[in-house]
Amino acid sequence: MYGVDDVLGIMGGYRGFYSKNTINLTPKVVNDIHKRGGTFLCTSRGGQDTNKIVDNIQDRRINQVYIIGGDGTHRGAALIYKEVEKRGLQVAVAGIPKTIDNDIAVIDKSFGFDTAVEEAQRAINAAHVEVESVENGVGIVKLMGRYSGFIAMFATLASRDVDCCLIPESPFYLEGPGGLFEFIEQRIKENGHMIIVIAEGAGQDYIAQAMQAADERDASGNRLLLDVGPWLSQKVKIAIALSS
């Protein structure tokens, strides 16, 4: 309808531009991609060479580039746009937000977020079944969310089984009046069990101080998170043992 003869899918993220990993996206190829979870064209982390990417765009005579992803992906898109502009190429670069964290400003909801919240419900339901089967059961469900607690928060709001939700935006502490341990003790006395939902980025500074961890980063420059799940589980086990 729009006179576009060829639509190329770049396989494996930005590196796919110069490793020649492409696929022709015909109506037949994309017919059922809406039923498949994850990233249809695959992905990669950081380390891309912007000059090589734009060289490839120029060599292939591509005139429209649609880049789908989150924060890191769009930082890369901005670099590609600047290089395209610098060379004076007639190429449109469009960024399409897609992140399950839902942490992109201006838009209300990004692709993948609803699916993530739905899947989180299964984990919460399973944890609830387990804690009800033992005396003083405490279930901890760790969900995705590096710097934003949208998945944890919406999954908690959608569930009637969660007693406490911990997210990166809201610091928490363990001991003393108003601390997590006090709340756990109170909840167990009332209900005999409880469920805690925690986003993976919550309490990172707290853990780093306790473990004296170094500031390590991945290929995209994102800080590698410490595993809050086992850390919190161990802390809660010790607190319950001491109070019983």
Q: What structural domains and CATH numbers belong to the chain?
A: 8-97 (3.40.50.450), 113-243 (3.40.50.460)
Tokens of 76: 């890369």
- How many other C-beta atoms can be found within 10 angstroms of the C-beta atom of residue 193? 20
Contact 165, 156 (CB under 8 A): yes
109-144 b/e (C-beta count within 10 Å ≥ 16 → b): ebebbeebbeebeeebeebbeebeeeebbbbbbbbb
Could you tell me the pLDDT band of residue 107, with boundaries at 50, 70 and 90? confident
> Buried b vs exposed e over 1-28: b needs ≥16 C-beta within 10 Å?
eeeeeeeebbbebbbbbbeeebeeeeee
Distance CA 166, CA 172 (A): 7
Contacts of 184 (CB under 8 A, 6+ apart): 138, 164, 194, 196, 236, 239, 240
Q: 123-129: which pairs have CB atoms within 8 A and are 24 or more residues apart?
A: 124/155, 124/159, 124/161, 124/162, 124/195, 124/197, 125/159, 125/161, 127/161, 127/195, 128/161, 128/195
59 is catalytic: no
- What is the rounded distance in angstroms from the CA atom of residue 41 to the CA atom of residue 17? 12
Structure confidence at residue 180 (pLDDT): 93
pLDDT tens track for 63-78: 999 998 887 888 899 9
What are the pLDDT digits (tens) for 192-240? 999 999 999 898 887 777 666 556 666 656 667 778 888 889 888 888 7
Catalytic choice (6, 49, 59, 101): 101
Q: Which letter does DSSP use for residue 112 in this model?
A: T
Residue pLDDT, tens place only, 24-33: 999 899 898 8
Give pLDDT, residue 21: 78
pLDDT digits (tens, 9 = 90+) for 75-98: 899 999 999 999 999 999 999 888
